[in-house]
């Protein structure tokens, strides 16, 4: 039996030095609580579109299957995305960096309405996929998907998209990033790096485990 983790550095097990230490991943500790093998499909810096892509490709390749794999999806900052510019592919493009010297593109991709529109489509698409194939799963926000208000109306973001997202029963009310900040320095890798340390990962895994067993 397996537990597969799809998310950014907060689920990956980022060690503060550019590498992966499984003891820093809350889903690793969750897999131990659930007595499952840990499959790490998370990666540093990736966006929600790439999380969706990795879920689909992992299923199609047979790395995961609904008969023996519990899925954890950790949604991340909505501004991150995979983009194609000329002959280059940017897997973790962020509009607020100098990765691409194109201010108009950055302004377009950082539009709050566009960002949250895509966030909702990714969440709903993954939800439909998991339900259709019969996976057991848990979703949560590991980092706030967007900080700003967006326009809710038919020609912008239809209310139905919010309603469908809000109706996902297996979507945790816990926000990993906010929980970490509330715990302060004892939860951080260091004072300058606010990624979760081992203590933090273990503590949060127990909260997730409690949600799963009490569904």
Query: How many residues does the structure list for the chain?
Result: 215
**DSSP 8-state symbol, 19:** S
H helices present in 62-171, as ranges: 103-109, 112-133, 159-166
Enter the pTM of the model.
Answer: 0.95
Residue 6 pairs in a beta bridge with 73
The region, left, alpha or beta by phi > 0 then psi within -120 to 50, assigned to residue 10 is alpha
Cα–Cα distance for residue pair 196/7, rounded to 1 Å? 14
Give counts: helices (H), strands (E), the chain: 8, 7
214 burial level (CB within 10 Å; 0-12, 13-18, 19+): exposed
Whether the CB-CB separation of 7 and 142 falls below 8 Å is answered with: yes
Residue stretches of the chain with pLDDT short of 50: none
Tens digit of pLDDT for each residue in 36-63? 999 999 999 999 999 999 999 999 999 9
Q: Tokens for 188?
A: 């951080």
pLDDT of the residue at 185: 93
């Amino acid at each position: 039996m397996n537990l597969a983790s799809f998310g950014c550095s907060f689920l990956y097990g980022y060690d503060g030095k550019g590498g992966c230490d499984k003891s820093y991943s809350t889903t690793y500790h969750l897999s131990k609580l659930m007595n499952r093998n840990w499959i790490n499909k998370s990666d540093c810096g990736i966006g929600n579109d790439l999380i969706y892509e990795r879920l689909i490709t992992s299923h199609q390749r047979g790395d995961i299957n609904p008969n023996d794999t519990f899925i954890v999806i950790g949604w991340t900052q909505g501004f991150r995305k995979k983009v194609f510019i000329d002959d280059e592919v940017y897997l973790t493009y962020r509009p607020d960096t100098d990765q691409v010297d194109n201010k108009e593109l950055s302004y377009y991709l950082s539009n709050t309405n566009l960002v949250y529109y895509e966030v909702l489509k990714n969440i709903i698409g993954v939800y439909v996929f998991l339900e259709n194939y019969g996976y057991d799963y848990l979703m949560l926000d590991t980092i706030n998907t967007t900080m700003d208000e967006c326009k809710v109306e038919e020609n912008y973001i239809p209310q139905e998209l919010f309603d469908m997202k809000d109706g996902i029963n297996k979507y945790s009310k816990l926000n990993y990033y906010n929980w970490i900040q509330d715990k302060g320095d004892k939860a951080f890798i260091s004072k300058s790096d606010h990624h979760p340390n081992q203590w933090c990962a273990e503590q949060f895994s127990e909260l997730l485990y409690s949600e799963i067993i009490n569904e």
